[in-house]
Amino acid sequence: MAETATPASQAAAQPSVWRIALRNRSVFWGGLLLVIIALIAVFGAVFTVDPIAINPIARLKPPGDFGLFGTDQLGRDVFSRVVNGARISLTVGAAVAVISIAIGLFLGLVAGYFRYMDAVIMRVMDGLMSIPAILLAIALISLSGATLLTVITAIVIPEIPRVVRLVRSVVLTVREEPYVEAAIAAGTRTWLIMLRHVLPNTIAPLIVQATYVCGSAMLTEAILGFLGAGIPPEIPSWGNIMSEGRTFFQLTPWIIFFPGAALAVTVLAVNIVGDGLRDSLDPRIARTMR
Amino acid sequence: MSPILDIRGLTVSLPKQADRPYAIKDISFSVNAGEIVCVVGESGSGKSVTSFTVMGLHDKRALTPVAGEILLQGDNILNASDAKIRRLRGEKMAMIFQEPMTALNPVAPVGEQIGEMLEIHTSLSGSRRKAKVLQAMRDVHLPDPEKMYHSYPHQLSGGQRQRIVIAMSLVLEPVLLIADEPTTALDVTTQAQILSLIKELQERRGMGVLFITHDFGVVADIADRVVVMQNGEIVEQGPVDQVLGAPGHPYTKMLIGAVPSMTPPDRAEVTGETALSATHLNKQYGHKGMFGRGRVVDAANDVNFIVRRGETLGIVGESGSGKSTVARCVMRLIDPSSGEVMIGDTDIATLREDKLRPHRRDIQIVFQDPYRSLNPRRTVGQSITEGPVNFGVSQAEALERARRLMSIVGLAPEALDRFPHQFSGGQRQRICIARALAMEPMVLIADEAVSALDVSVQAQVLDLLEDVRDEFDLAMLFITHDLRVAAQICDRIMVMRKGVVVENGPTAEVFSNPQHEYTRSLLAAAPGHGVFDKETA
């Protein structure tokens, strides 16, 4: 009476999360746009002039002879500054996403799996969530100076609770699954159960969450730069380019327009990828991954 | 007399990627006034597609009726406009579903939900409407309709909710009632009441009833005529006595033969050593508030039993009886409030997790839901070898053991590399049994392990459980709500109700001479008792 699995579904493993995701059109095009922006950020310094070289002769020139995007009040090339600023934005976005997901994943797993840790962790998270990122950043910068690290720290801290809540909710449902109980009954150590049976269920929602964290981190970084509480002015970032262009906004709108447009396009690309991921991963999980 | 519902040559196609081209193929049958027609079949037989297509509720993106007609009092429903079908639903035909909780809106009082039917389909005034709703609630024998009118679904029991759903579907006095597994989610005693209610209402109103079920016991109790479906086709139809008494088609014979008998086979008393025992086992949920308030539920109250090696002890009870709580306490998936659980000669009831882990291998469990008990991301081989590897068995040796067990449970050893979603429910349950056996346990707990399976598969898995019990000299704790299943496999039976053991004894004795009133009512309520168990009656 030996039976084998149905031949109709002989395909070996389930398709990977990434394979499913890339089949979605908005993930593909949004992702392509992001890759291009990332390439520009990485290799931009090679084909642009020095972004902080001052040229007093060519101040506040419109786009054209003195550079693709014109020049600012010190005669610096706006195109070069915007291209170099991309590096800061993408670094902040990616770093905040990775760090907050890593910390949030760990805390969320612990809070969801160990009931006695839940109340402690979640109350601390409620506290963190009430801190506005911008105020925290201003406070941190006045304490330890304006560096990339302070900016990232300031944005990461209020993001963590959102990730923790998401992970915790997934863990709370998964830990009741019979296959987790079967693993307990099989004597599997707790950390291994969390790693092997619980954690994989959080990956797909976390990938989606990461894109939103990334997009909002880039915006927050720009706001901080604009307020003068972000990356120091000698390093061009989209936020502080706009901040410096503010004074001459009505005369020379290009100084603000180009970094603003770059920021908008980048965040848009990230969000398109995020929406696509949610569309393609969520129903998929419901159907085939359970 | 022309039939109320006449289905002629109906074929419904499935989307291309499905495993067969048609959900139902060329089926024809009719339902006359004053008649209950049971459509019976296993999962995937197309019985629910049939009922949903009649109601126009089928998933229109996936299912397309491509041939045939559905005549409701002479009108072809398949050609009717959406507006017309909406009017027909409720006025001419109504449907009741399996799960009454999800069929009702949780945020509206039940009386208003019944009244909504009248509001949409009639122009009655508010007071007349209410009077009619109350009458409908009285018709389904709900206690104190005036008060219950304002109740919300969660305040009612499962049986009361199903009565509300029935009242809702019948308030417009349709000529056809479609019931899709209406008692499957209910306890056996409640099921018996709902079945007799449907029969009573049908007789009083002379409706036609199309009753979908997988349970031949229910068929025997309620049907006038039976339609047997397999893989989307009708294999046999006829009057109930003929189909049940002298089935013509081999599939029908197989299904009827697979219904477990309520007569327990003769069993010798097992005298092996005691493998598992529980003494004064208690489990309370909830806890007292600071000032003695708060609600405490005794899920298990002073439960005592022993199971010997080679013996099966059945714990039988309805939902909320505490039978699963006992299993989970014994497994230490939850911590008992007090009492002793002895495995061999160790009391595991209060051991700390690190001290307990070495004893976990001695006691294994097979769960009810075969779709959720295996991690969908891990291969069958990984799932089976996980336990032995935890206990220091080498990967190669564990894999070898897994291969051997796969053939013992009747699956091909090559299937170890596949993922759970590539197996059917019954096959997955075999895998779960193999996973439990891989630990070489003393005690195997089967928590409703065959309840989610089709009756033919159920019989095979029961046989398998019995085989492995004998082969590995296991002590088995068999948790079930189904008396028929219990009769077939258990040496001794313990009947639980509201956390208390009300009766306890050898299976044959409990079935032939039940001492407790509750056991007697359970036995009487078992569907099909009169037809399938004539020799005991």
Compare CB distances from B391 to A10, A12, A187 and report the shortest one's residue.
A187
* Cβ contact, residue pair B365, A5, below 8 Å: no
| Tokens coding B534 | 């004539």
Q: Which residue has the tokens 């009766």?
A: B503
Q: 3-state class of B368 per DSSP?
A: coil
Pairing of strands B5-13, B64-72: antiparallel
Rounded CA-CA distance B374/A181 in Å is: 10
A8, A185, A190 ranked by CB distance to B331: nearest: A185
pLDDT at A4 > cutoff 50 = no
Tens digit of each residue's pLDDT, chain B (537 residues): 688 999 999 999 888 777 788 889 999 999 999 999 999 988 888 888 899 999 888 888 888 898 999 999 988 988 888 888 888 888 899 999 888 888 899 999 999 999 999 998 988 898 999 999 999 999 999 988 999 999 999 888 888 999 999 999 989 989 999 999 988 888 888 899 999 999 999 999 889 999 999 888 899 989 999 999 999 999 999 999 999 989 999 999 988 888 888 888 888 888 888 999 999 999 988 765 555 556 778 889 999 999 999 999 999 998 888 898 999 999 999 999 999 999 988 899 989 888 999 999 999 999 988 889 999 889 999 999 999 999 999 999 999 999 999 999 999 999 999 989 888 889 999 999 999 999 999 999 999 998 888 888 888 899 999 999 999 999 999 999 988 899 989 999 999 999 999 999 999 999 999 999 999 998 888 887 766 765 443
**Is residue A229 a contact partner of residue A145, using CB atoms and an 8 Å limit?**
no
Residue B353's Cβ-count burial label (10 Å; 0-12, 13-18, 19+) is exposed
Helix (H) or strand (E) holding A265: helix A254-284
pLDDT reported for residue A47: 81
End-to-end CA distance of chain A: 30
For chain A, say whether B407 makes contact (Cβ under 8 Å): yes
Residues of chain B found within 8 Å of residue A285, distances taken between Cβ atoms: none
Domains B1-92+175-181+198-257 and B272-287+294-362+490-537 share a fold: yes
Q: Which residue of B has its CA nearest to A200?
A: B377
DSSP state of A286: I
Tell whether B354 is within 8 A of chain A (Cβ): no
Q: Give the pLDDT band (50/70/90) at residue A289.
A: very low
State which residue of chain B sits closest to A10, comparing Cα positions: B422
Q: How far apart are CA B85 and CA B99, in angstroms?
A: 24
DSSP H helix total and E strand total for chain A: 11, 0
Q: Is B126 on the interface with A (CB under 8 A)?
A: no
Name residue B365's amino acid: I
* A12: pLDDT strictly greater than 60: no
Q: Can you give the pLDDT at residue A10? A: 39
For B283: left if phi > 0, alpha if psi spans -120 to 50, otherwise beta; the answer is beta
Confidence of residue A8 (pLDDT cuts 50, 70, 90): very low
> Are residues A4 and B386, on separate chains, in Cβ contact within 8 Å?
no
Residue B107: Cβ within 10 Å count: 8
Domain B272-287+294-362+490-537, classified CATH 3.40.50.300, yes or no: yes
Sign of CA dihedral B498, B503, B508, B513: negative
- Token code pair at residue A45: 């310094």
Distance (Å, whole) CA A68 – CA A40: 15
Q: Which amino acid is at B187?
A: D
How many Cβ contacts (< 8 angstroms) between chains A and B? 101
0.80 surpassed by pTM: yes
Cβ of B439 within 8 Å of Cβ of A186? The answer is yes
Would you call B266 helix, strand, or coil by DSSP?
coil
CA of B442: how far to CAs of B265, B274, B308, B390, B482, in Å? 25, 10, 10, 17, 25
DSSP 3-state of A40: helix
- Quickly tell me which residue has 């005034």 as its tokens: B125
CB-based contact, B333 to chain A, within 8 Å: yes
Nearest residue, CB atoms, B367 vs list A5, A178, A190 = A178
Sheet holding B75-76: strands in order across?
A: B22-31, B5-13, B64-72, B75-76
Structure tokens at B400: 């070898």
Residue with tokens 């032995």: B388
- In contact, A166 and A173? CB cutoff 8 Å: no
CA neighbor of A50 nearest in space, from A235, A225, A239: A235
Which residues of A fall within a CB distance of 8 Å from B353?
Answer: 190
Q: How far apart are CA A226 and CA A241, in angstroms?
A: 8
Residue found under tokens 């447009």: A261
What is the rounded distance in angstroms from the CA atom of residue B436 to the CA atom of residue B364? Answer: 5
B120 touches chain A (CB under 8 A): no
**C-alpha span between A14 and B160 (Å, rounded):** 43
CATH number for the segment(s) A21-44+66-289: 1.10.3720.10
Which one of B372, B393, B404 makes the best mutation probe of the A interface by having the most chain A beta carbons within 10 Å?
B372
Judging contacts by C-beta atoms under 8 Å, the chain A residues touching residue B402 are none
CA–CA dist B412, B424 (Å, integer): 14
Q: For A197, which DSSP code?
A: I
Residues of chain A with a CB closer than 8 angstroms to some CB in chain B: 1-6, 8-10, 12-14, 177-179, 181-190, 196-197, 200, 288-290
Q: How far apart are CA A20 and CA B66, in angstroms?
A: 33
Instruction: Please enumerate in sequence order all residues whose Cβ is within 8 A of that of B138, keeping only pairs 6 or more positions apart, or say none.
Output: B145
DSSP H helix total and E strand total for chain B: 21, 20
For A33, which DSSP code? Answer: H
Cross-chain residue pair B417–A2, CB shorter than 8 Å: no
The CA distance from B51 to the nearest CA of chain A, in Å, is 24
Residue type at A265? V
**Interacting residues of B516 by C-beta distance below 8 A, sequence separation 6+:** B495, B502, B503
The ipTM, to two decimals, is 0.82
Q: Which residues in chain A have Cβ-Cβ distances shorter than 8 Å to B422?
A: 5-6, 9-10
* Chain B neighbors of A12, CB-CB under 8 A: 417-419
> Across chain A, which distance is largest between two alpha carbons, in Å?
90
Q: Which pLDDT score, from 0 to 100, does residue A15 have?
A: 64
For domain B1-92+175-181+198-257, the question of CATH label 3.40.50.720 is answered with: no
DSSP code of residue B321: S
**Chain A touched by B348 (CB under 8 Å):** no
CA B311/CA B270 separation, integer angstroms: 6
The minimal CB distance from B360 to the residues A5, A187, A289 is found for A187
Contact assignment for B365 to A3 by CB distance below 8 Å: no
Interface contact B415-A4, CB threshold 8 A: yes
Residues 425-454, chain B, touching A (beta carbon < 8 A): 427, 432, 435, 439
Do B427 and A5 make contact, defined as CB atoms within 8 angstroms?
yes
Q: Which H or E element spans position B501?
A: strand B500-506
Domain boundaries, chain B: 1-92+175-181+198-257, 99-173, 272-287+294-362+490-537
Shortest distance, CA B422 to any CA of chain A (angstroms)? 6
Q: Which residues fall within 8 angstroms of residue B116, CB to CB, at 6 or more apart?
A: none
Q: Chain centroid to CA A153: how far?
A: 13
Distance between CA atoms of B90 and B170, rounded to whole angstroms? 8
- The C-alpha atoms of residue A97 and residue A208 are separated, in whole angstroms, by 11
Residue B308 forms beta bridges with which residues? B274
CB-based contact, B140 to chain A, within 8 Å: no
Q: Crossing angle of helices A254-284/A200-227, nearest 10°?
A: 170
CA A171 to chain centre: 23
Q: What are phi and psi of B167, to 5 degrees?
A: -60, -40
**Distances in Å between the alpha carbon of B251 and those of B235, B506, B532?**
8, 34, 17
* Average pLDDT over every residue of A14-39: 83
C-alpha B82: how far from its chain's center?
34
- Identify any residues that bridge with B475 across adjacent strands, giving them in sequence order: B443
CA distance B184 to chain A (A): 22
Q: Is B458 on the interface with A (CB under 8 A)?
A: no
- Calculate the alpha carbon distances from B268 to A114, A188, B32, B107, B469 in Å: 47, 38, 51, 55, 15
Q: Cβ contacts of residue B323 below 8 Å, gap of 6+?
A: B315, B316, B317, B479, B481, B496
DSSP per-residue string spanning B106-168:
TTS-HHHHHHHHHHHH----HHHHHHHHHHHHHHTT-S-HHHHTT--GGGS-HHHHHHHHHHH
**Run of H or E including A242:** helix A238-245
B441 burial (CB, 10 Å; 0-12 / 13-18 / 19+) is buried
* Token pair 């033919």: residue: B456
Q: Which residue is closest to B359 within chain A, CA to CA?
A: A187
Q: Cα dist. B343→A89, B337, B339, B357 in Å? A: 61, 18, 13, 13
Which two tokens mark A188?
A: 């599997």
Least confident of A46-55, A235-244, B192-201: A46-55
Residue A5 phi/psi, 5-degree rounding, is: -65, 155
Chain A nearest CA to B148, separation (Å): 34
> At residue A137, what is the residue type?
A
A112 vs A6, more confident: A112
User: Average pLDDT in the A24-31 region?
Assistant: 88
Q: Looking at beta carbons, which residues of chain B come within 8 Å of A173?
A: none
Q: Which residues of B touch A178 (CB under 8 A)?
A: 367-369, 372-373
pLDDT band of A55, cuts 50, 70, 90:
confident
Kindly state whether B242 is in contact with chain A, defined as any CB-CB distance less than 8 angstroms. Answer: no
Write down the pLDDT at residue B277: 93
- What residues of A are in contact with residue B333 (Cβ under 8 Å)? 181, 184-185
Q: Of the candidates B360, B377, B423, which has its C-beta nearest A185's C-beta?
A: B360
- Lookup result for tokens 């697979």: B258
Bridge partner list, B494: B315, B504
CB atoms within 10 A of CB A70: 22
Residue A127: DSSP 8-state:
H
Residue B448: partners with Cβ closer than 8 Å, 6 or more residues away = B324, B367, B368, B479, B480, B481
When scoring A179, A194, A290 by the number of chain B Cβ atoms within 10 A, the one with the most, hence best to mutate, is A179
